[in-house]
Amino acid sequence: MKIRFLFLLPLLVSLVPTAPSWAAGDRYALVIGNAKYPDADAPLKEPLNDARDIADELKRDGFSVEIGENLTSDGMRRAFEKLYGKIKPGSVALVFFSGFGIQSARQSYMLPVDAQIWTESDVRRDGFSLEMVLGELNTRGAGVKIALIDASRRNPFERRFRSFSAGLTPVIAPNGTLVMYSAALASVVSDAGGEHSLFVQELLKEIRVPDLMAEETLNRTKMGVTRASRGEQVPWISSSLAEDFSFIPGTSGSRPSATTPPPPPPVKPVDPVTAPSIDSGPSQAALADDPTIKGLTAKIAANPDDVNALYRRGQVYASKGAYGLAIKDFDDTLRINAKDVEALNNRCWTRTVVGDLQGALKDCNEALRLRPNFVDALDSRGLVNLKSGAVKNAIADFDAALKVNPRLTSSLYGRGIAKQRNGSAQEGALDVANAKAMDPNIVQEFASYGVR
């Protein structure tokens, strides 16, 4: 439901020194989702969706993205060699991997789907060492190296060793590197079987927040995963970045100091009585000097049909409460590509906040027609129905969203409110209490939508 500020996944990178040291096009990403391991009991359900959404998000942010699904050893080798061949001095290089990983000899390895592992030496033969990948990227001249590894899953290979260590191990990486694992060192988490892993859900949400340095983005992701899992999953981060760096192109500013508390999650302005109107919020002139908006506006001036810049600026406007301006940018995005489901969902959400419920419902219905079971649109349509009084339809939408992502706090809270309005006070109160335990800010968030 809430606007996706990467907006997501989902991984985009833009270094922002005082004078940029590379061109906007010198950002390269390799995204791998491995799900079909013959030695596993069943295919993993999360990696392919995770990889696709991360790749889409990176493309929106100007990355040159290669995506690989269910790659064999030869396929992964070719994919890495292709990435290495693109690197120029000062480039940004990002690797996202979702699948099985394993540690051996104090290194973490990403496993291809055809890995044949029975002894520890087989790991070094068939796996791809994260340290070696980062080292090669550094040798080729990459200025910023980022690795986002969702591979802390219990896998079928580890117990074949006489002695083994679960999970992943610390990486010794060159300067200018940012690494994040989906879980703590030497720990594993279960594949939840949803549309996305909890790690990628939180990562995409935080990447979409404008005006954050990369380390702040990942720290917020860590806090989100820890909170949503109630401490059962705590991601691991290692950074040796020497320069200020933001995932969203055009972001400026310096890295927050260690004493600066992290900014709260983006929350729309709260009106204690009703939701904001389309004319509420700051004006275009008042936001003209915002660094992110200024950079995006310059891109749009150079190319009025720059769909990525229009979409991104709409997200930023919405995050700042300039809903009318956001809707206009989403209108222009959809004029260029009427099948952009993310833009449809975001316009649905923004229209819902300002009270255009008929238009919002139309947008959400179209998004779900184009992408059935699109969890964000189900969540948004649930809010539309909740605000319009169609509480049974709201419950159905929130139920469907929670079936895809059981940890979606906004759907859990929205379902609780809808159940209470439908006469199921006890069930509704339980949903509300569980949602508040997962995210104490959820009450304020819904109040900003005009829902109490």
Q: What are phi and psi of 153, to 5 degrees?
A: -105, 145
Tell me the pTM.
0.60
pLDDT of residue 277: 59
- State the pairing for strand pair 92-98/177-181: unpaired
Question: How many residues make up the chain in this entry?
Answer: 452
pLDDT of residue 166: 64
Q: How many angstroms separate the CA atoms of 403 and 132, rounded?
A: 39
User: Is residue 337 within 8 Å of 328, Cβ to Cβ?
Assistant: no
Tokens linked to 363: 């947008």
Of 405, 434, 410, 430, the C-alpha closest to 420 is 430
Q: Under the phi-then-psi rule, with left for phi > 0, alpha for psi from -120 to 50, and beta for the rest, what region is 230? A: left
User: Is residue 170 within 8 Å of 201, Cβ to Cβ?
Assistant: no
pLDDT of residue 15: 33
pLDDT of residue 42: 83
Question: Cα 89–95–100 angle (5° rounding)?
Answer: 150
> Which CA distances in Å does 65 have to 12, 52, 205, 391?
10, 11, 20, 42
Tens-binned pLDDT, residue by residue, of the chain (452 aa) = 545 443 333 333 333 333 333 344 588 999 999 999 987 778 898 999 999 999 988 888 778 999 999 999 999 999 999 999 999 998 999 999 999 988 887 789 999 999 887 777 788 888 999 999 999 999 999 999 999 999 888 777 765 554 455 678 888 878 889 999 998 887 888 766 667 889 998 998 888 777 778 888 899 999 988 888 888 889 999 988 877 777 776 544 333 333 333 333 333 333 333 455 566 567 788 787 877 788 889 989 999 998 888 988 888 888 788 889 999 999 999 999 999 988 999 999 999 988 999 999 999 999 999 998 888 899 999 999 999 999 999 999 999 988 877 778 889 999 999 999 999 999 999 999 988 887 778 888 888 888 88
Tokens linked to 207: 């990447």
The identity of residue 90, as a single letter, is: G
**Which domains are seen in the chain, by residue range?**
14-246 (3.40.50.1460), 284-448 (1.25.40.10)
Cβ neighbourhood burial of 372 (10 Å; 0-12, 13-18, 19+): exposed
